[in-house]
Chain A
Amino acid sequence: MSIWEYANPKKFMQTTGFLLPWVSGLAGLTLAVGLIWGYFFTPDADKFASTVKIIYLHVPAAMMAISAWTMMLVTSLIWLIRRHHVSALAAKAAAPVGLVFTVIGLVTGAIWGQPMWGTWWAWDPRLTAFLILALFYLGYIALWAAVENPDTAADLTSVLAIVGSVFAFLSRYAVLFWNQGLHQGASLSLDKEENVADVYWFPLLVCITGFVLLFVALVLARTRTEIRARRLQALIARERVA
């Protein structure tokens, strides 16, 4: 029993077909609990007043935006090295979800920045880096859409994902150099001493779990769609030949 068994599309479809309802249900449940807890049952913070509630959207979305790209990088590498189609399709399936998370991070950040920093947008390093990340997502999705042959598209986008990761990383530190930011330093870490207070920490944890589960559910569902679409194309091509 190894993880590579799931590279077989049939096996992947079977397993995910069974898993998907559970993951989706769990994702919905966790998100609902986390967001309701965050919205209704947390106190206001001294400095942020009620806007502290935005953290339950902003932080998980931002984390997942980066994680989604990382996942795309890993699946792209797997495709390049081991030529498993499911892997390439999973990367393709994840991109739009990652883009949506990036946009959520930017939008909630802008809405939060308005009352806190007095501006919708500032050329703060993290904001700038996120905008650049959004551009990378757009380029990646556009390249998938532009190349007709699916294997060529998978190869090219994989190369782009690898090079893009390096440059996204560079940009992250370049903008840090370029402008000092308004963001506070890391407020979440495994080191408990530096964490935000427990009242905010627990609902935030639930929300992060919810976002992760939602991402997994969406990627599974979208990968299934991509596999079906690929089979559909193959069948139609065969019909034309016959």
Chain B
Amino acid sequence: MIALLIRDLRLAIRAGGGFGLGLAFFLLVAVIVPLGVGPEPATLAKIAPGILWVGALLSCLLSLDRIFALDFEDGSLDLLATSPVPMEGAVAVKALAHWLVTGLPLVLAAPVLGVLLNLPVQGYLWLVISLALGTPALSIIGAFGAALTVGLKRGGLLMSLLVLPLYMPTLIFGAEVVKRGAAGMAVGTPLALLAAITAGALALLPFAAAAAIRVNLR
């Protein structure tokens, strides 16, 4: 399984674009929004938590179809299915690899973009914490969506339609943490709920995703 993780990471970094593309998109969102809504610091400070979370979510979405599509095309997914590693484990590892190349950079880059969007000082810590807690859920939910659509030729758009509604609870609680943190309020409740959703998704969705992949490989 560790070998699989290393292989996936190597491929993501090497095969031009997968790595960094999400990050560049995140940066673009943070640049485009002030251009659209105007440069008033007060307005930006107010919408910054939401924009940063929506931006993280969209850049995560962007790279999802890479999780399984390439392996499905060249047959390595079939090999994985016959290997001793259970499919559930393979899905979890692939989601982890996706998180390491897209989620983690987003978490690290978010404070910089917070500066661009004039996020209040108290918000930075909570921004990083909420993204660190929430982006794993985005990766594993995305892996489930990618598993559902892996056999389809043009599944990208359909996958977005399937995945975005599933992202909503994470988005709501994640943005709420940052919003409250930036306003200097207590963040315990939304933070706990966000963590609960991530933990639940991590525990259960690999099974659903693996079931979907087995169906698609049939």
- Does A63 reach chain B (CB closer than 8 Å)? no
B65: CB under 8 A from chain A? no
B211 contacts the other chain (CB 8 A): yes
Asked if A177 contacts B168 (CB within 8 A), the reply is no
Q: Are A136 and B152 in contact (CB under 8 A)?
A: no
B218 contacts partner chain A, Cβ-Cβ < 8 Å: yes
A139 in contact with B215 (CB, 8 Å): no
In the complex, how many residues of chain B place their beta carbon closer than 8 angstroms to a beta carbon of chain A? 28
Docked CA distance A156–B151 (Å): 11
Query: Are B161 and A139 interface neighbours, CB within 8 A?
Result: yes
Complex-state Cα separation, A16 to B205, whole angstroms: 37
Q: Closest chain A residue to B216 by CB distance?
A: A152
Within 8 A of B (CB), among A193-218: none
A29 within 8 A of B: no
Within B168-214, the residues touching A (CB, 8 Å) are 168-169, 172-173, 176, 189-190, 193, 197, 205, 208, 211-212
> CB of A45 within 8 A of chain B?
no
Instruction: Choose among A138, A171, A174, A178 the residue that contacts B161 (Cβ–Cβ < 8 A).
Output: A138
Residues from 142 to 161 in A contacting B, C-beta threshold 8 Å: 142-143, 146-147, 152, 155-156, 159-160
B148 at the A interface (CB under 8 A): yes
Contact, CB under 8 Å: A146 / B172: no
Q: Indicate if the CB atoms of B158 and A142 lie closer than 8 Å.
A: yes
Provide the bound-state CA to CA distance between A22 and B192, in Å: 52
Known: A146-B155, A163-B205, A175-B172. A132 touches B165 (CB 8 A): yes
Q: B142-166 vs A: 1/0 string, CB under 8 Å?
A: 0010001101100100100110111
In the docked arrangement, what's the CA distance between A177 and B172, Å? 9
A168 and B167 CA atoms in complex are apart in Å by: 10
Residue-wise interface mask of A (3-28) relative to B, using a CB-CB cutoff of 8 A (1 in contact, 0 not): 00000000000000000000000000
Mark interface residues in B134-147 (1 if CB within 8 Å of A CB, else 0): 00000000001000
Residues of B within 8 A of A132 (CB): 165, 168
In the complex, are the beta carbons of B172 and A160 less than 8 A apart? Answer: no
The smallest beta-carbon distance between A180 and chain B, in angstroms, is: 13
- Interface check A32, CB cutoff 8 A: no
* B152 in contact with A147 (CB, 8 Å): yes
9 A-B pairs whose Cβ atoms sit less than 8 Å apart in the complex: A135-B161, A136-B165, A139-B158, A143-B149, A156-B212, A164-B166, A167-B166, A171-B169, A174-B173
Taking Cβ atoms with an 8 Å cutoff, the residues of B that contact A are: 144, 148-149, 151-152, 155, 158, 161-162, 164-166, 168-169, 172-173, 176, 189-190, 193, 197, 205, 208, 211-212, 215-216, 218
Q: What would 12 more interface pairs be, CB under 8 Å, given A164-B165, A164-B166?
A: A135-B161, A146-B158, A147-B151, A152-B216, A155-B212, A156-B148, A156-B215, A163-B205, A167-B166, A167-B168, A174-B173, A177-B189
